[in-house]
């Protein structure tokens, strides 16, 4: 697969940061870890990886800005371009020795995501996509799964944890969807969940209240793999808003329908 110069820059940054994470993963018990909030961890592995990504991308495009999980907003001279970076998506997995984590890099141009890279160094899986250029896993072209029956479908999601999310609302969604489908998976790294939809491993994915760095790269992967990506209401996707539903055309619509049924049951329970 021939990558554009832009994707080469993103790929090199992700892979270099991934090599750093792989070294730290082998010594995870020695990492210095702190908490940003309840059950929300940050380690020196996150910070090292973010520094590597920042250095690599800033050297290649010195005028472009950043939105990064740990550093936040870094203004650039070019107002049209911004890198959106999660240096370690799946920190909790990482710190527990679970090899499901990723470096996620997206490029925002004039408010729209136009390229994305998700790299899982533990499995040596590199997902790449550029607007109009298709989505790839390493050198293999990706297409979303073609399933059209809910009883055969496997969906991914994120589960609210201590101090985060609407636990009661999620349980209504979970009860609704598990009653209609082949199952649900919770990988623990949204960028990988969404990349798995692009790869056809999952038939769809939904989650609320994510950050832009969690879902931006994954969203363009799904679109370039022929899938649909929207907010929870089925309308236009906004990577800054943080809600996402994705899948092939049928599964995307079916998932939206199930989520609406869950919300209707929740509202009915409130008034009963």
Binding positions are 69, 86, 88-89, 214
- In three-state form (DSSP H/G/I as H, E/B as E, the rest C), the secondary structure along 148-200 is CCHHHCEEEECCCCCCCCCHHHHHHHHHHHHCCCCEEECCCCHHHHHHHHHCC
Angstrom distance (rounded) from CA 223 to CA 225: 5
Binding site per annotation, positions for Mg(2+)? 69, 86, 88-89, 214
Angstrom distance (rounded) from CA 53 to CA 121: 14
Angstrom distance (rounded) from CA 155 to CA 132: 26
CA distances (Å), origin 101, targets 58, 98, 139, 184, 260? 24, 8, 20, 19, 31
Pairing of strands 102-109, 78-89: antiparallel
CA 24 to chain centre: 22
**CA angle at 115 for the pair 111 and 119, rounded to the nearest 5°:** 130
């Amino acid at each position: 697969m021939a990558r554009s110069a832009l994707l080469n820059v993103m790929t090199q940054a992700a892979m270099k940061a991934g090599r750093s994470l792989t070294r730290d993963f082998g010594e995870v018990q020695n990492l210095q870890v702190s908490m940003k909030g309840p059950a929300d961890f940050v380690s020196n592995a996150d910070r090292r990886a973010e520094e590597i990504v920042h250095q690599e991308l800033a050297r290649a495009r010195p005028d472009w800005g950043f939105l990064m999980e740990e550093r936040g907003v870094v203004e650039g001279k070019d107002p049209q371009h911004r890198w959106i970076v999660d240096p370690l998506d799946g920190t909790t997995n990482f710190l527990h020795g679970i090899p499901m984590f990723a470096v996620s890099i997206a490029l925002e141009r004039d408010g729209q995501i136009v390229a994305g890279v998700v790299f899982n160094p533990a499995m040596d899986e590199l997902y790449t996509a550029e607007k109009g250029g298709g989505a790839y896993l390493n050198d293999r072209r990706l297409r979303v799964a073609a399933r059209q029956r809910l009883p055969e479908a496997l969906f991914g999601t994120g589960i609210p944890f201590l101090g985060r999310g609407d636990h009661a609302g999620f349980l209504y969604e979970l009860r609704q969807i598990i009653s209609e489908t082949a199952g649900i998976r919770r990988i623990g790294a949204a960028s990988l969940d969404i990349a798995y939809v692009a790869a056809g491993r999952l038939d769809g994915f939904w989650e609320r209240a994510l950050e832009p760095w969690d879902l931006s790269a994954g969203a363009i992967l799904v679109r370039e793999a022929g899938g649909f990506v929207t907010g929870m209401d089925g309308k236009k996707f906004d990577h800054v808003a943080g809600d996402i539903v994705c899948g092939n055309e049928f599964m995307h619509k079916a998932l939206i329908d199930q989520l609406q049924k869950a919300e209707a049951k929740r509202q009915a329970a409130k008034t009963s």
